[in-house]
Amino acid sequence: MTSEENNLKADLRFFFMSPCEKYRARCQLPWKLCLQLLKIVLVTTQLVLFGLSNHLVASFKEENSLAFKHLFLKGFQGAREDGNSFAVYNRQDVYDSMFYAINQYLQLHNVTVGNYGYVQDENNLTALTVCKQLYVKSPPVPSENVNRSIIDSRIETVSLVFLLYCIGFFRLVQIEISFRLKGIDLQAFQYNELPDCYEFLITITFDNTVHSGIIKIFLDSDAAIQECNDWDISDSLSKSSHYILIFDVFIMLICLMSLILCTRSIILAISLQKRFASFFLRKYNFNVCLSDRLEFLNGWYIMIIISDTMTITGSIMKMEITVKNLTTYDICSILLGTSTLFVWVGVIRYLGYFQKYNVLILTMGVAFPKVLRFCCCAGIIYLGYTFCGWIVLGPYHAKFENLSTVAECLFSLVNGDDMFATFAELQEKSNLLWLFSRLYLYSFISLFIYMILSLFIALIQDTYETIKKYQEHGFPQTDLYTFLNDSTEIPNISRYV
Amino acid sequence: MTSEENNLKADLRFFFMSPCEKYRARCQLPWKLCLQLLKIVLVTTQLVLFGLSNHLVASFKEENSLAFKHLFLKGFQGAREDGNSFAVYNRQDVYDSMFYAINQYLQLHNVTVGNYGYVQDENNLTALTVCKQLYVKSPPVPSENVNRSIIDSRIETVSLVFLLYCIGFFRLVQIEISFRLKGIDLQAFQYNELPDCYEFLITITFDNTVHSGIIKIFLDSDAAIQECNDWDISDSLSKSSHYILIFDVFIMLICLMSLILCTRSIILAISLQKRFASFFLRKYNFNVCLSDRLEFLNGWYIMIIISDTMTITGSIMKMEITVKNLTTYDICSILLGTSTLFVWVGVIRYLGYFQKYNVLILTMGVAFPKVLRFCCCAGIIYLGYTFCGWIVLGPYHAKFENLSTVAECLFSLVNGDDMFATFAELQEKSNLLWLFSRLYLYSFISLFIYMILSLFIALIQDTYETIKKYQEHGFPQTDLYTFLNDSTEIPNISRYV
Amino acid sequence: MTSEENNLKADLRFFFMSPCEKYRARCQLPWKLCLQLLKIVLVTTQLVLFGLSNHLVASFKEENSLAFKHLFLKGFQGAREDGNSFAVYNRQDVYDSMFYAINQYLQLHNVTVGNYGYVQDENNLTALTVCKQLYVKSPPVPSENVNRSIIDSRIETVSLVFLLYCIGFFRLVQIEISFRLKGIDLQAFQYNELPDCYEFLITITFDNTVHSGIIKIFLDSDAAIQECNDWDISDSLSKSSHYILIFDVFIMLICLMSLILCTRSIILAISLQKRFASFFLRKYNFNVCLSDRLEFLNGWYIMIIISDTMTITGSIMKMEITVKNLTTYDICSILLGTSTLFVWVGVIRYLGYFQKYNVLILTMGVAFPKVLRFCCCAGIIYLGYTFCGWIVLGPYHAKFENLSTVAECLFSLVNGDDMFATFAELQEKSNLLWLFSRLYLYSFISLFIYMILSLFIALIQDTYETIKKYQEHGFPQTDLYTFLNDSTEIPNISRYV
Amino acid sequence: MTSEENNLKADLRFFFMSPCEKYRARCQLPWKLCLQLLKIVLVTTQLVLFGLSNHLVASFKEENSLAFKHLFLKGFQGAREDGNSFAVYNRQDVYDSMFYAINQYLQLHNVTVGNYGYVQDENNLTALTVCKQLYVKSPPVPSENVNRSIIDSRIETVSLVFLLYCIGFFRLVQIEISFRLKGIDLQAFQYNELPDCYEFLITITFDNTVHSGIIKIFLDSDAAIQECNDWDISDSLSKSSHYILIFDVFIMLICLMSLILCTRSIILAISLQKRFASFFLRKYNFNVCLSDRLEFLNGWYIMIIISDTMTITGSIMKMEITVKNLTTYDICSILLGTSTLFVWVGVIRYLGYFQKYNVLILTMGVAFPKVLRFCCCAGIIYLGYTFCGWIVLGPYHAKFENLSTVAECLFSLVNGDDMFATFAELQEKSNLLWLFSRLYLYSFISLFIYMILSLFIALIQDTYETIKKYQEHGFPQTDLYTFLNDSTEIPNISRYV
């Protein structure tokens, strides 16, 4: 055995060791592992802190939006439980609702219990605008005996400032009342934080696009966060935000370190793999197969790299949000959330070093491609049912209204949820549809629950038994492991960490 | 080996090849496969287009129906969540509701926000009719001390035009107010489509058939689509519908081609099967068994033929609907939907050509008859429970009111849905019924979930293991495959595609 | 081999034959089987007919009960969805509700849309009674500074006829307003049936037993069916009921026949078993073991006997109900329903004669005692959780209020239903209870779903594999079958049918 | 074989016998078993008795709390079904609600139907207090053009007695109206129990901490139980509570006996184990392994000891509660409930002595650590998903609002509950969030239901088969059992019970 071969073997063996074995072999502290564990604690703490302050902002917006609905919509009594929107059905109610909204706006300071203020433009005028969209020409009234009327699908927009003439309902497409209000989130005081100032853009839409005798009313409040410029802030308030920024920077440094270490490991792995492949080619005139090459590429490292990149990006965004430069809470929370998920999933890797946990993790790993492959088959039938249900039942039932809800409804049915409710909703239509819906639901549910879910269990069980047999009688050997195992020398020199 | 035998073997082997093997054997492009893949894309596109326009029509009708209820029913406040119908309970409310409906009809133009018009008959009179059904003779009032009153079950119908005398509630069976309104679906403008004109037949029924002190009020609006004859339509509108018609014709041609190809394959298969059978009879004096004969009949082709026939029929109906000759949306959508489902399911066939997917598809195929057979056994017990639950619990609980809802409720219970709600609904009756309902539900659910669902899993798992063993050690050989496999010559001449 | 032994063997073999084999052996028509199949059809028809008329009666009562609530309860707006009862909270509302009910009763004929009449007693007085229960002595008012008041738990009942003095709310236990109304179910006309007359006993209870500041109002309407004596009934009406009675008698005869045949089979089986046992004792000096003796006792026959007895009893009750002698719909429907369930389950026996169905039926039969045994183990833990949940969570949450609902709630949880709702309901209490409820629910659900349900599947799967192995390699032999199988003579004389 | 060895073996064998074997070996009545069975009956009876009286108290408090809401909150119409709290949205409503509450309090005796009385302090004044919290300095009104206002986060509390000046809504944090009422639970009379006197502390809070335009109104009623000191109680009432106290003492004695016996058994077991270990060390110079040592420590005894300790503590608390010294119903019910759960679970031990039940109990025992270990793996992924869902979806959806509800929601999803509702709730937000929520839910549900639940089944099934194989071919032998089984002498002298 040449010295080159011995060196290679020593390096390879060290490379495929678990942290415990490395520790035993070289008494080297597994500080990459420690770094990861520290990261879990830090990243989770950061997430919880961000989440708590985020929830305050969200609930403030939510409550203001609800308060506006109660203030400006006449007869509003809370969101409808059946998902229908707030609507009016006759002309008097349309006029009443409009005047009510405008009136409430005008006497806002006497009415509201919130801290709102008008937004004034450069001319010191408050900016309530009423704006209606009409068909340019009146479409033909169905009952009139006109001989030939010309249909014209163009729409014009007329803006009214504080004057409401008679609305031509035949031509009307929609009316929009919009105005701006200022607000301040005083609640932040109690958490020793800087209060945010808000500018709400409130839009009340009377929607008649369908022309079906219903005018739906939507109130939309868009909140923009602004810095409260003109105020002196007591010292204690500003200090607490400094600590948070420092903490974020610290997390970024930890993640950067972890990122660098993992990248280094991957680069070393690739170079080792090349060395191994060229050695094999030279000695045995034999190309190392792909699966052996992939053994070198540790999937966990890739996951850690992705997770670290997300944490760093997220932390930068979080800092920008803290100092009120950005308001993209959603993207930041998706970045931080996903990275935390990955960090936690990464813990499983360390559990896999224990023998007893290993069976389960190996089973999941081996069964995963099989399950995916089977999901693929089942998914095709599923897609067929989705399209079929959408086209036939869609026009009559809310649950089948668009493709995504059909997919969700079927997914719930497969997992045994919401079955009777779905049956009940598909009740009171024509006989043909009733029959179709029964055939559709019974066949779908039976097929998926009795055949496909059972097959999943069979798949997993088969894999579990295979893995257990392997653990008792040895795994099938690849070239790499055959090469590694036919020498017994303990490596003492290695460049790999 | 005779030349005839060689030819037959070559033909047979070619016949049972997968597209890939055929391609390798004869460098023949698998264009039947390509045609099917193209069909999936086209049929799905057609379905989505049809669905989108269909939903607009359906939502327009739905919203009008809701608008009518708010316009003509006094005190209507949205559909009741507990499924009960809208009803009145005393005489004054009946009169009020009737006059309200008539009054709203008369002043429709001042009240509604929709574009409705009266429908006038030849005498230029608007056609509101009030019509009541009465028992011919007044049934005996329970409290009167008449000695012998004669019960007469005949019913007479009295039509009132705009005059409402005192209603004799004792004799009253039902009152019906009906009238027609014209409408127009202006929304279509925004999608560059031709607007449809509608004639709504609105029927308000005061139902007293049960004579139980409740008069239920139903509003039924029947929408008939009519062409808007008298209008000039701008050019851009009419053009878009042309493109859709051309697209439909194109799909029909593709499906026709696929239909012809598959029919041809089946005919060739049958003739090959006959040749094979007669060869066997002649040479070995031996009748080929049924299962071998069925091997020739490819189930997938039959499914494609059914699917193609449905697509073609559906496309013709769709074209008729587009040009407003037909309004049978439901039948058309069932045809298109089912054919799309079949087309998608057909994809599984091509997945079966890959080794790894094959296990799953084979397992499902082999387990299917077993599961059906078992469903049969379980179904009988299920039917028994259905009848038993209907007769005993039916009179007291909405879920058990008719046989189909009992079946649905039990089906949901088997799959673990709606259990507590069902228990809770069967709560507050006599002790005997309470005890019966508990025995009934506990025994049914335990039997089905713990025994029958588990047996399904056992069935599938057993099949999966059998198939895996077959794949490793070879499938049991039939005469056909024995015949095929004992020669090694590669076929080079074949009439089969 | 002696002739006695031969005879015995022939008889035994014939006894253990399936109907098909008997037919082949003796060309004897399996008319017992035909009788059973006929019975299924007839019994199901009878059940459906009875159910349909039963539902009419039930819905009439239900609707009347609802109508009374709308008529006599002030402010009633349909049953509350949250299950709470109708209640008033201040004194004025109590007085208002009482006077409203009495007033509506007095002017009933002007108000109601139903056909109600007053019930008059012998003195021609209508019988509305108002009746209040009071504590004999006023309990101490909490705020009064009396030194020593004597608590007296006796209750007196004071009856008021049409005079309402000031109610002493401190002493009040409950007020009851009750009266009777006559009604007639005219709906029956439309089904060509005899109409029933009803006497409704309506009781409105103002319940103050808890003295908690809430007075709950219950309206209870008890309907008693009476024959409408004094009326001439047209001929066509009375005829249809005759046909039904004849049909019932026919079914009773069929069931009687089936009952006699099965009893005879069981008697013959017992005598054959005795003969066999004494023969064994004589010849081999050997007692036949219990399981062999039980082989003779066909469980299916016992089920048929029970089912027939129930059908006959039920049919007699049904006939009595048809001629209005009895009104025990509930007991009759339980008898007929259960017998129908048994008749349908009996069909499985005939499916067991086919080889392929047999595996499944055998598996279910063999697994049944194992599952029961395991249910027993699980049931004990279940019972412990039920008691524990009831005592701790009962006072705070409706679902845990009494032992039966706790059991139902836990049963639903085991089967994956209503989980989030249960968690959510156990939300807003003290921290200790919150923690306990979480531990309780997570541990219960995990234990039952992940351990016990999985064990059920393991049980069934193991049984299924055992049965399949038996079918391939033969069942374990008992003495009886060893005896039967060591001779090959075909029996030609047998007394057994 | 020495006499010492023989003695030890005899003692060991006797120690590891089941009660039946002990009975057969020494004709010794298994009175420890009888004691446990008696305990089950007694403890369950005690629990039911306590529960019944506990429910009365709880429902009285609950109903009073509801009555107070109806009395003092203007416009209250029952708890909102959508979980939102009762709230007002404009200034007039705040004033109205406050005056309404105070007014109702003043005329309480004319209004309420409950037996309430005012609580008077030493100055004979009724103690209604109105108290408001304000920011010390008015925060800046958003619209005012002040140059630099100073934000001051201090809050002052102002107490108003019956005088309400104009509320400064800008500065207002919250208003609190609180008063005390006396009540008496007369219902107890009907159960022959002593009536309790209550003092209710009612607090109505107008909460404006969020300053979002919504003022939430909470009514909190705190009930303190007091003895009704000044009353003569009739003799029959006081007697019944004596019997209950005697019963409790009896149970405590039984539990004490069981506690002593089990402690003695454990002490004997430990001494036997030491004897065995020292014998082994002496004779074979061999340390007994840990698992053999643990065989001596009977887990059931430890459970019984815990259960008995809890029952005794609980019974003492229950007696204190009966004589009205304590009101800690919750802790007492948790103690009694948990101990009853343990007592019932203990029954399983005795079932384990039957051969057929043993398989199941052994399987559960052996599978338990495996399932726990796997739960650990799954739990980590679960935790990752919990954090991720909370941070991203938390601000928008009630179900994801805090970490515990996220965990509960995901747990329900895993078990197939509430799936469609969760999908539907995550519907109407920005596209990015919609996409994220779909990915999140589909991946989570698929992973857990199709992979992890199936793996549970595989785990249990594998264990079940292992145990069955052991039962047929013998369990793996440990040193202890090898030692025990190589002698056949029947022990006749033993110190162990």
> Strand A215-226 relative to strand A87-88: parallel, antiparallel, unpaired?
antiparallel
CA dihedral sign, ordered C36, C41, C46, C51: positive
For residue D254, tell me if it sits in a domain: yes
- Binned at pLDDT 50, 70 and 90, residue B309 comes out as very high
State the CB neighbour count (10 A cutoff) for residue B17: 17
A89 and A219 part of one domain: yes
Nearest chain B residue (CA) to C71: B89
Minimum distance, in Å, between the CA of residue A209 and any CA atom of chain B = 6
Helix (H, G, I), strand (E, B) or coil at D456: helix
- The per-residue pLDDT for range A351-406, each reduced to its tens digit, is 777 777 777 788 888 888 888 888 888 888 899 999 999 988 888 888 888 888 88
Query: Which of A372, B391, A113 is closest to D450 using CA atoms?
Result: A372
Percent of chain A with pLDDT strictly greater than 90: 9
* Nearest chain B Cα distance for residue A402, angstroms: 9
Nearest C-alpha in C relative to B401:
C55
pLDDT tens sequence across A395-453: 888 888 888 888 989 988 888 888 888 888 877 667 888 888 889 999 998 888 888 88
CA separation for the pair A112, A110 (Å, rounded): 6
- CA distances to B15, B28, B262, B273, B274 from B269, rounded to whole Å, are 8, 19, 10, 6, 9
Residues in C 175-234 with any Cβ partner in B closer than 8 A: 182-187, 189-190, 192, 195, 197, 228, 230-234
Q: Cα–Cα distance between D384 and D374 in angstroms, integer?
A: 16
Say yes or no to pLDDT of D226 above 80.
Answer: no
Spatial separation of the C-alpha atoms in residues B38 and B261, rounded to whole Å: 15
DSSP string covering A337-381: HHHHHHHHHHHHHHHTTSHHHHHHHHHHHHHHHHHHHHHHHHHHH
Of B70, B234, B367, nearest to A451 by CB-CB distance is B367
**D418, closest residue in chain A (CA to CA):** A417
* Spatial separation of the C-alpha atoms in residues C336 and C348, rounded to whole Å: 20
pLDDT digits (tens, 9 = 90+) for D394-432: 888 888 888 888 898 998 888 888 888 888 887 766 788
For an interface test with B, the pick among C115, C237, C327, C363 (most B C-beta atoms closer than 10 Å) comes out as C115
The number of C-alpha atoms within 13 Å of A428 and in the hemisphere containing its C-beta is: 5
Dump pLDDT digits (tens) for A393-405.
Answer: 888 888 888 888 8
Domain-embedded: residue A66: no
Residues 87-116, chain D: which have Cβ within 8 Å of A?
A: 88-92, 94
CA A405 to chain D, closest CA, distance in angstroms equals 8
User: What whole-number distance in Å separates Cα of residue B461 and Cα of residue B463?
Assistant: 5
Neighbouring-strand partners of residue C223: C200
Whether residues D369 and D433 share a domain: the answer is yes
Mean pLDDT of B114-120: 81
**Between C81, C338, C351, which is nearest B388 by CB?**
C338
Q: What's the confidence (pLDDT) of residue D328?
A: 78
Rounded-to-integer distance, Cα A319 and Cα A246, Å: 10
Q: What is the pLDDT of residue C114?
A: 83
Q: Please name the member of C64, C232, C336 whose beta carbon is closest to the beta carbon of B391.
A: C336
Same domain, C258 and C155: no
Predicted local distance difference test score (pLDDT) of residue C404: 87
- Rounded CA separation D306/D304 (Å): 5
Q: Is residue B64 situated within a structural domain?
A: no
Q: What is the pLDDT of residue B3?
A: 73
Question: A286 CB near a chain D CB, below 8 Å?
Answer: no
Residue B62 lies in a domain: no
pLDDT digits (tens, 9 = 90+) for A283-325: 777 777 777 777 777 788 888 899 999 999 999 988 888 777 7
* Number of domains chain A is built from: 3
Domain of D105, in residue numbers: 73-142+149-229
C343 domain residue, yes or no? yes
Interface contacts (C, D; CB < 8 Å): 247
- C30-56 pLDDT, tens per residue? 777 888 889 999 999 988 888 888 888
CA dist B287 and B277 (Å) reads 7
pLDDT at A161 over 60: no
DSSP label at residue A113: S
Q: Decide if C140 contacts D184 (C-beta within 8 A).
A: yes
The beta-carbon neighbor of B415 closest among A91, A449, A455 is A449
| Beta strands C129-135; D197-207: pairing state | unpaired
Pick from A139, A436, A455: which is nearest to B360 by CB? Answer: A455
Q: Do A408 and D420 touch (CB under 8 A)?
A: yes
Asked if pLDDT for residue B135 goes beyond 80, the answer is: no
Chain D residues within an 8 Å CB radius of C418: 417
**Residue A127 at interface with chain D, using a CB cutoff of 8 Å:** no
Among residues D127, D58, D132, the alpha carbon closest in space to that of D98 is found at: D132
A375 and A407 assigned to the same domain: yes
Least confident of A311-315, B157-161, B359-363, D358-362: B157-161
Confidence of residue B265 (pLDDT cuts 50, 70, 90): confident
Residues B90 and B220 placed together within one structural domain of the fold: yes
* pLDDT tens per residue across span B290-305: 777 777 777 888 888 9
Residue D10 near residue D491, CB atoms below 8 Å: yes
Distance CA B70, CA A84 (A): 14
Q: Where are the beta strands (DSSP E) in D139-196?
A: 155-160, 172-184
Say if residue C220 is in the same domain as residue C99. yes
Instruction: Tell me whether C382 touches chain B (CB under 8 Å).
Output: no
Residue C117 phi, psi dihedral angles, 5° rounding: -135, 150
If asked whether residues C128 and C203 sit together in one domain, one would say yes
Rounded Cα gap, residues B102 and B108, in angstroms = 10
User: In chain C, what residues touch B458 (CB-CB under 8 Å)?
Assistant: 363, 457, 460-461, 464-465
Q: What is the pLDDT of residues B382-423, one digit of tens each?
A: 999 999 999 888 888 888 888 888 898 998 888 888 888 888
**Based on the number of CB atoms within 10 Å of its own CB, is D107 exposed (0-12), middle (13-18) or buried (19 or more)?**
exposed
CB burial of residue B266 (10 Å; 0-12, 13-18, 19+): middle
Neighbour tally for A339: CB within 10 Å: 27
CA C223 to chain centre: 21
pLDDT tens-digit profile of B163-215? 555 667 777 888 888 888 888 887 776 666 667 788 899 999 998 888 888 89
Q: Give the closest of D147, D169, D210 to A187, CB-based.
A: D210
Contacts 24+ apart (CB under 8 A), B435-442: B436/B392, B436/B393, B436/C334, B437/B392, B437/B393, B438/C404, B440/B385, B440/B388, B440/B389, B440/B392, B440/B393, B441/B413, B442/C411
Q: Do C420 and D404 touch (CB under 8 A)?
A: no
In a domain, A489, yes or no: no
Q: How far apart are the C-alpha atoms of D321 and D315, rounded to whole Å?
A: 10
B contacts of C47 (beta carbons < 8 Å)? 387, 391
pLDDT for position B149: 45
Q: Sign of torsion, CA B70 B75 B77 B80?
A: negative
Q: Which backbone phi and psi does D410 adopt, to 5 degrees?
A: -65, -40
pLDDT band at residue D57, thresholds of 50, 70 and 90? confident
Given a contact cutoff of 8 angstroms between Cβ atoms, the answer to whether A361 and D377 are in contact is yes
pLDDT averaged over every residue in chain A: 79
Residues A322 and A405 in one domain: no
Single out the residue in D171, D202, D229 at which a domain terminates: D229
| Radius of gyration of chain C, Cα coordinates, nearest whole angstrom | 33
- Shared domain for B218 and B244, answered yes or no, is no
pLDDT at A33 over 90: no
What is the pLDDT of chain B when averaged over all its residues?
A: 79
pLDDT at A235: 52
* A65-89: average pLDDT: 78
- The alpha carbon dihedral of A158, A163, A167, A168 has a sign of negative
pLDDT digit string (tens) for chain C, length 497 residues: 567 777 777 777 777 777 667 777 777 677 778 888 899 999 999 888 888 888 888 888 888 888 898 889 888 877 655 555 788 888 888 888 988 998 888 888 888 888 888 887 666 556 788 888 877 666 555 544 444 444 555 667 666 655 555 667 777 888 888 888 888 887 776 666 667 788 889 999 998 888 888 898 988 888 887 766 655 555 555 566 778 888 999 999 999 999 998 898 889 888 888 888 888 788 777 777 777 777 777 788 888 899 999 999 999 988 888 777 777 788 888 899 999 999 888 888 877 777 777 777 888 888 888 888 888 888 888 999 999 999 888 888 888 888 888 898 998 888 888 888 888 887 766 788 888 888 899 999 888 888 888 888 888 888 888 888 887 777 676 666 676 666 554 444 444 44
Q: CB-CB: which of C111, C113, C347 is closest to B380?
A: C347
Cβ atoms of B294 and B322 within 8 Å: the answer is no
- Cα separation, B201 vs A427, in Å, equals 23
Q: Is D79 in the same domain as D215?
A: yes
Q: Select from B229, B263, B279 the last residue of a domain.
A: B229
- Find out whether C203 and C130 touch, Cβ atoms under 8 Å: no
In a shared domain, residues C170 and C217: yes
pLDDT recorded at residue D385: 92
Q: Whats the size of chain C, residue-wise?
A: 497
Tell me whether residue C494 is in a domain.
no
| D314 at A interface, C-beta within 8 A | no
> For B306-310, what is the mean pLDDT?
92
B376–C356 C-beta distance less than 8 A = no
- The reply to whether A421 touches chain B by the CB within 8 Å rule is yes
* Separation of alpha carbons C23 and C9, rounded Å: 18
ipTM over 0.85: no
Domain boundary among B330, B353, B376: B353
Give exposure, D208-227, as e/b (b: 16+ Cβ within 10 Å).
bbbbbbbbbbbbebebebee
DSSP symbol at B169 = T
**Closest C-alpha among B218, B227, B254, B434 to residue B339:** B254
pLDDT at A478: 66
Average pLDDT over every residue of A93-116: 87
How far apart are the C-alpha atoms of B469 and C139, rounded to whole Å?
84
D215 closest CB neighbour out of A113, A341, A371: A113
**How many whole angstroms separate alpha carbon A198 and alpha carbon A200?**
6
**Interface check D404 vs C, CB under 8 A:** yes
Residue C478 lies in a domain: yes
User: Looking at the structure, do residues A425 and A459 belong to the same domain, yes or no?
Assistant: yes
Which is nearest to C314 in space by CA: C340, C332, C330?
C332
Which tens digit of pLDDT belongs to each residue from B6-48? 777 777 777 777 766 777 777 767 777 888 889 999 999 989 8
B433 and C330: CB-CB below 8 Å?
yes
